[in-house]
A and B are shown apart, each in its own frame.
Chain A
Amino acid sequence: MSEAREFKYIGQRTIRPDGFDKVTGRAQYGADLNLPGMIWGRTLRSPHAHAKILSIDTSKAEAHPDVFAVVTFKDFGSVEGESINAGEGAADVLDLARNCLADDKVLYHGHAIAAVAARTERVADDALALIEVKYEVLSPVLDVEDAMKDGAPILHEDMFTQGYEETPSSPSNIATRLEMKMGDIEAGFAEADVIVEREFRTPTAHQGYIEPHACTARYDEDGQSLVWCCTQGHFDVRTSTAKLLHIDLSKLKVVASEIGGGFGGKTVVYQEPVALALSRKSGRPVKMVMNRDEVFMATGPTSAAKLKAKVGAKKDGTITAMQGWMAYEAGAFKGSPMMPGVMTMFTPYDCGNVQVEGFDVVVNKCKVAAYRAPGAPQAEFAAEMVVNELAEELGMDPIELRLKNAAKEGTQTIYGPKLKTVGLVECLEAARDSDHYKSTLAEGCGRGIAAGFWFNIGGQSSVSINMNTDGTGTIIEGSPDIGGSRASMQMMAAEVLQIEPSRLKPIVADTDSLPYSQGTGGSRVTFATGMAVIEAAEDVVRQLKERAAAIWNVTAEQVDYVDGVAINTAGGEKMTLAEVCEAAEKTGGQISGTGNINARGAGPSFAVHLCDTKVDKETGKVDVVRYTAIQDAGKAIHPSYVEGQLQGGAVQGIGWALNEEYIYNDDGVMENPGFLDYRIPLASDLPMIEAIIVEVPNAFHPYGVRGVGESGIIPPLAAVGWSVGNAIGRKVEELPCSPPRVLSLIQNG
């Protein structure tokens, strides 16, 4: 899309189609499916962060009269180490299996070892105590520094660092080393008048979705099976589960329930293959629902990281060199989001001399999973903090400094392509011109600003639109709706068909009902599934024209379709969409459009945030007093949902910056596995987040859409971090800015 166009429905704030079910409690979530004869599964988890499993004796549990089945890693049969597409990016099947149920080693506190299915949840819980596991306890490795040291305890004897010209001959906790560079970094720094360099740390942070992981699985006598679960990608649950249990894809139906938050964390299987294995063994449907402490201890938060950032500039503010270093905790198995960290770190800047080095490091903590712009918040936090310090050193306004160096169309990225049309400059200008930025900072407060970049993705989406004889229709898509996408699908189809959105019912269908659709992640659904919806709707329009043409005995080319009405350009007759659908029986059968695509051309979304904080100098407590989130949506299909994404991302980032962190003791036991002590922000903690939508259309989407789900979590870390430092006259280098840390910074510098 190259120029602005008029829309009939796009851009309105329609009533969400899933709203009534959610507010009345009718909506069915992961734990809500009960089947006749169903029993309950519970998981035995490791009390140790690092240990060899010498033996597992399940005989006493199996002998319990109310226990129907016990499974361990052995029940997966032979599992090969191969790469499959599971959720956001590739996963190693063997690692996936060993994370669902430990093989010969437990690698984190809470690591699943065995599962029991019993008549009730309580009996299943009690029966776990009957399983006897003998361990040889090993020293845990709890952060990247310890893990990278020579002589550190090794998690995987078969892991050799990838990414050096010569693969080392001894095993290491460093899974991968990656370097990206362009230009001449040394020459760039030599040119600089001012250089700023700092080290930073960010904690392990969880997505904090309210709904725990839950599923019900049923394995039938004839080998057909069903998994009902809360997931961001039920086709990927099918892939992973079928692979671990050696089932044909056609024999496993996965149904995505309504989902109470995911943010990337529900792209991976934990219980689904285990529940199905229990069902296969017991002959009964099995339900598994995690407790909150299990969600924290044993699902996939995002990486804690250690980072270094160095930036140099001339006196006039021209940035001449940018250099980064990062080590990301992957948790128990390789695969942190270090690579997107390396790729995104300095992308908001048009600088020719850039070098970034990253390390993917295993430690004795739960395996990380995707979390909203995975890998970018940590890396860009470090980058934005030094850019703010650079502005301070230069005596320049931080927005002016960014505008002077902003990435724009044609800017070379470190990871290969040049940027297409992007909206960073427009976001910075919107920030500069905002009421917030023009407002005077209150006494004792601090202000921070930061930018954020995220690629967004496209990918495979499959959609059918089935028309009914009354002119209504069903939009059948395969992308679980975690952020209001059903409303957007309805509006995009309505725009093509030129009928009221409420006449179209959007549903997320199970894996039997549609071809493969990639999961909901990477801010891809409104973009890619939206394109598939538009294609399917255009297919419907094409058929409407053909059917009307058949009735009028003209060619389809002679039929126009305007405002929901087919018009015979030869004879002047008109038929509404409903009339053509009603006559479908006579013109060749029912009308159904399809759009099965692999979308390309996802447009990056830049975000710029402003944050004012007030710090209680005696307690170190930080209050966010004003916050503005500005982001390029390309085209906001449903502005309320876009604002919700901007605000939601900001709030999660603020929580990460202020109070959220995994706290481990020296033995690697997580000490705060609950919402009481893992402190996500409460509504009363925050001001209304002001959202400003910038629209610089993405030329590769028919309506100009850019994904908006992720970029919003990137800027808060530095916007808050800088603001706090500004309020207390110190430099923040470690998150979260929890009261004890801030007080210590005030008192000790």
Chain B
Amino acid sequence: MVSVVYEAPDLIEGAVNLLAKSDIPAHVLAGGTDLIIQTNNSSDAERLIVDVKKIAGMTDANLTDAALELGPSMSCASFTERDDIKAVYPGLVEAAYLIGSTQVQGRASVGGNLCNSSPAADTIPALIANGAQCVIAGPNGERTVPVEEFVTGVGQNCMEKGELLKQITVPRPAANTSDAYLRFIPRTEMDIAVAGAGVSVTLDDTGTCTAARVAIGAVAPTALLVPEAADALVGSKLDEAALQAAADAASAASNPITDRRGTVEYRRQVVGVLVKRAASIAAERAKEG
């Protein structure tokens, strides 16, 4: 028989304590859209499920002058409804909007997407492009890790036993900055990225790019920050040559596999195309903003 212990603490400390002291496999439950499928297929006879949604702040988002303080378990549906957030981070919101279906978005969360640590997760490149940080609570206190260092492998991340993602902090972008996220799927929705690209650009008054962050997904074991692609954009007016150089840098940085969703060659090519297009969209938004 399978035995499941369910706990729903209302304090971070309580959750950390449960996770740290469990002698059976323990899992954090946010929306459960990945976890429930994974545990149903698991052979573990006993498991502890720690539902973190009752902890204050876990399902809220607070947009301050300094940053977006995002509760990791906030549902994507609630998140994507927030026009104030969308005005500042349109690319991040559109990434969250791509996860699953309308129904799934009622449960799925950005933090869950991050902690599931799939190479194809849509929000991760968008978070990296925005320089987001993970605030991790654990038995030894809190620590902060940039998103690009959070995921360490396919389905793996840097969190140790007893640790829990407490907040995702996304700094307020500089003036004349905006972002975009694009993914490629063969259909229009309900699919997993063959490749993805999140780009943030800052323009000066002349339309010259003064800063950029480029992140790519589904083309390596983890989402990658690609400084070479950003370097290709900075100093340019995002003309075709600069965009193509960024695309080429992203293709070169990618390290994809061939599987049922695409070949190495195809993914390399497409991720470059996405970087180019996302950079153009981000630049348009930065000009409008």
Q: Which residues of A contact B (CB under 8 A)?
A: 122, 618-619, 621, 658-659, 663, 671-672, 676-677, 679, 681-682, 684-685, 738-740, 743
Contacts and interface: CB of A to CB of B under 8 A. Distances in A.
Chain B contact residues: over half helix, strand or loop, or mixed? loop
B260 A677 contact: yes
B190 A682 contact: yes
Contacts of A743: 266, 269
Contacts of B263: 740
Contact of A685 (B184, B187, B259, B260): B187
Nearest to B43: A126
B260 A739 contact: no
Given A677-B261, A682-B189, A684-B189, 17 more contacts: A618-B273, A619-B184, A619-B270, A619-B273, A659-B186, A672-B260, A677-B260, A679-B186, A679-B191, A684-B188, A685-B187, A738-B186, A739-B186, A739-B194, A739-B266, A743-B266, A743-B269
Which 4 pairs between the two chains have the least Cβ-Cβ distance? A740-B266, A684-B188, A618-B273, A671-B260
Contacts of A619: 184, 269-270, 273
Nearest to B272: A618
Nearest to A747: B269
Nearest to A663: B260
Contacts of A685: 187-188
A684 B101 CA distance: 12
29 contacts: A122-B2, A618-B269, A618-B270, A618-B273, A619-B269, A619-B273, A659-B186, A659-B187, A671-B259, A671-B260, A672-B260, A679-B186, A679-B187, A679-B191, A681-B187, A682-B187, A682-B188, A682-B189, A682-B190, A684-B187, A684-B188, A684-B189, A685-B188, A739-B184, A739-B262, A739-B266, A739-B270, A740-B263, A743-B266
Contacts of A676: 191-192
Contacts of A684: 187-189
A621 B260 contact: no
Contacts of B194: 739
A558 B269 CA distance: 83
Interface in B260-285: 260-263, 266, 269-270, 273
Nearest to A622: B186
Given A677-B260, A740-B262, A743-B266, A621 B192 contact: no
Contacts of A671: 259-260
Contacts of B266: 739-740, 743
Nearest to B189: A684
A739 B184 CA distance: 10
B94 to A, nearest CB: 16
Nearest to A681: B187
Contacts, number: 46
A663 B259 CA distance: 10
Interface residues of B, number: 19
Interface of B: 2, 184, 186-192, 194, 259-263, 266, 269-270, 273
A684 B194 CA distance: 19
B222 to A, nearest CB: 21
Contacts of B184: 619, 621, 739
Q: Which of B187, B262, B269 has the most A CB atoms < 10 Å from its CB?
A: B187
Contacts of A682: 187-190
B159 to A, nearest CB: 27
Nearest to A741: B266
A291 to B, nearest CB: 11
A619 B196 CA distance: 13
B86 to A, nearest CB: 21
A740 B186 CA distance: 9
Contacts of B190: 682
B97 to A, nearest CB: 13
With most chain B CB atoms within 10 A of its CB, the pick from A122, A619, A621, A659 is A619
Nearest to A686: B188
A735 to B, nearest CB: 14
Nearest to A123: B1
Contacts of A659: 186-187
A685 B190 CA distance: 11
A380 B189 CA distance: 31
Contacts of B191: 676, 679
Nearest to A658: B186
Contacts of B186: 621, 658-659, 679, 738-739
A122 B45 CA distance: 12
Nearest to B258: A740
A209 to B, nearest CB: 18
Nearest to B261: A677
Nearest to A670: B260
A659 B262 CA distance: 12
A618 B280 CA distance: 15
Contacts of A740: 262-263, 266
A450 B270 CA distance: 32
A676 B263 CA distance: 17
Nearest to A678: B260
B229 to A, nearest CB: 17
Contacts of A658: 186
A672 B261 CA distance: 9
Nearest to A738: B186
Contacts of A677: 260-261
Contacts of A739: 184, 186, 194, 262, 266, 270
A658 to B, nearest CB: 8
B150 to A, nearest CB: 25
B250 to A, nearest CB: 13
Nearest to B195: A619
Contacts of B273: 618-619
A331 B201 CA distance: 54
